[in-house]
Amino acid sequence: MKLLKPIALAGALLSFSMGTMAKDVGIALDTAADLEMSGSYVWAHNFVKELEARGMGAKEIPRGAIGGESEKLDQLGMGLLEVSLSDVKSVARIDPFILGVRLPYLFDSVAHLDRALTEGDVLSKVNDSIESANVRLLALVSLGPPSGIITTDQAVTKPEDLADLRMRAIDDVQVSMYEAWGSNGTIVSWGEVPAALQTGVVDGYINTALVPLMFGQTDIIGYFSDAKVMNGLRAVLVSDDWYQRLSADERKIVDEAVQSANQANREWLEQAGSKALQSLQESGVEVTALSEDGRERFRELSQSIYDQTELGSDDLDFWIGLSEQTR
């Protein structure tokens, strides 16, 4: 009888271990499950598909089901959530170094950014700095084509076109960017943007061409300038506790699933830009492109705000140098 207790205990521990490993990998989404409109969902869908094909259970957690960005970050840190499609600013809350990817006109395209991430070993640098928060950055995912200037009543082809406009900003840094362009910015939460556009509180905002389509705003806006201000990105964050507890085989599966999902995201992006612009035009939105000279003028004016971000001077020099050497 004395032998039964340790045997029973061993069985219980084995059952617990198997139950833990059998738990589906949870992936918290940041958008609706839309393979046409959401680049981050394209990534998540392919990541889940790859895990399941290799024998690892996975499940998508709908946007907002476990809270907002702060709640997702907290749950990753506590090991209650395995994977999250998160705002880049969630990473910046731990260390602002990552904000280099959000500097306007620093990177010409996602391909340019990808070269910089690889040559600068950026993910390793980020992970060294955020390890204390028990999170790990596995990828930066494209949300859609680079951001353009979306307006209600005024086409924008050069900075002077913004002089009489008030633009919606997401934070003080974006307000400063508009001011550098000779315009004005006011911070408006995303949920209030449609009403703000309709009432004239703001005359436009910056985002990818997919956003007014995704949120049904084509009857409110009138113009889209394909200004390519910055790349819209999401950070793929995982619980470091979860990642470190994976066996070597499981970690290989996860890492290869990340690579496969990255490729699917970039392939989707190649087609998404032209499709989005065509859809905007079909919806009655006038689409304009900046000339090389016009884009260069926006780029020069934007550089004046780089030192107004949370980036330290050394980090800023790193990002600017990395951009130039990989352009």
Neighbours of 37 (CB within 10 A): 21
- Three-state DSSP string of 129-192: HHHHHCEEEEEEEECCCCCEEEECCCCCCCHHHHCCCEEEECCHHHHHHHHHCCCEEEECCHHH
Sorted by where each begins, the domain ranges of the chain are 24-143+232-273, 148-230+276-326
Kindly report, residue by residue over 41-99, the tens digit of the pLDDT: 999 999 999 999 999 999 999 999 999 999 999 999 999 999 999 999 999 999 999 99
Interstrand relation of 25-28 and 83-87 (parallel, antiparallel or unpaired): parallel
Question: Residue 225 in contact with residue 183, Cβ under 8 Å?
Answer: no
Neighbours of 212 (CB within 10 A): 26
Work out the average pLDDT over 284-295.
92
∠ CA 87-227-200, nearest 5°, is 80
Instruction: State the pLDDT confidence band at 264, using cuts at 50, 70 and 90.
Output: very high
How far, in whole angstroms, is CA 176 from its chain's centroid?
Answer: 21
Question: Residue 212 in contact with residue 277, Cβ under 8 Å?
Answer: no
Q: What is the pLDDT of residue 224?
A: 97
Q: Is the pLDDT of residue 18 over 90?
A: no
Q: Is the pLDDT of residue 17 over 50?
A: no
Question: Residue 259 in contact with residue 253, Cβ under 8 Å?
Answer: no
Kindly report, residue by residue over 169-179, the tens digit of the pLDDT: 998 989 999 99
Of residues 8 and 124, the one with the higher pLDDT is 124
Kindly report, residue by residue over 180-222, the tens digit of the pLDDT: 999 999 999 988 999 999 999 999 999 999 999 988 999 999 9
For the residues of 190-231, what is the DSSP string, one character each?
A: GGGHHHHHHHTS-SEEEE-THHHHHTT-TTT--EEEE-----
Q: Is the pLDDT of residue 1 over 50?
A: no
Work out the average pLDDT over 10-34.
65
How far, in whole angstroms, is CA 164 from its chain's centroid?
Answer: 30
Residue where the block lists tokens 């790193």: 318
Instruction: State the pLDDT confidence band at 13, using cuts at 50, 70 and 90.
Output: very low
Question: Residue 130 in contact with residue 267, Cβ under 8 Å?
Answer: no
Length of the chain: 327
Task: Identify which of 47-51, 292-296, 305-309 has the greatest average pLDDT.
Answer: 47-51
Cross-strand partners of 135 = 239
Q: Is the pLDDT of residue 21 over 50?
A: no
Q: What is the pLDDT of residue 15?
A: 35
Kindly report, residue by residue over 117-155, the tens digit of the pLDDT: 999 999 999 999 999 999 999 999 999 999 999 999 999
Instruction: State the pLDDT confidence band at 5, using cuts at 50, 70 and 90.
Output: very low
Q: Is the pLDDT of residue 9 over 50?
A: no
Shared fold status for 24-143+232-273 and 148-230+276-326: yes
CATH 3.60.21.10 fits 148-230+276-326, yes or no: no
Burial bucket for residue 241 (CB in 10 Å: 0-12, 13-18, 19+): middle
Instruction: State the pLDDT confidence band at 308, using cuts at 50, 70 and 90.
Output: confident
SS3 115: helix
Q: What is the pLDDT of residue 22?
A: 53
Of residues 310 and 167, the one with the higher pLDDT is 167
CATH class of 24-143+232-273: alpha beta
Question: Residue 129 in contact with residue 97, Cβ under 8 Å?
Answer: yes
Q: Is the pLDDT of residue 301 over 60?
A: yes
Q: Which helix or strand (DSSP H or E) is residue 27 part of?
A: strand 25-28
The mean of the pLDDT values for the chain is 91
Instruction: State the pLDDT confidence band at 14, using cuts at 50, 70 and 90.
Output: very low
Work out the average pLDDT over 93-119.
95
Return the structure tokens found at 280. Answer: 């905007």
Percentage of the chain beyond pLDDT 90 is: 86
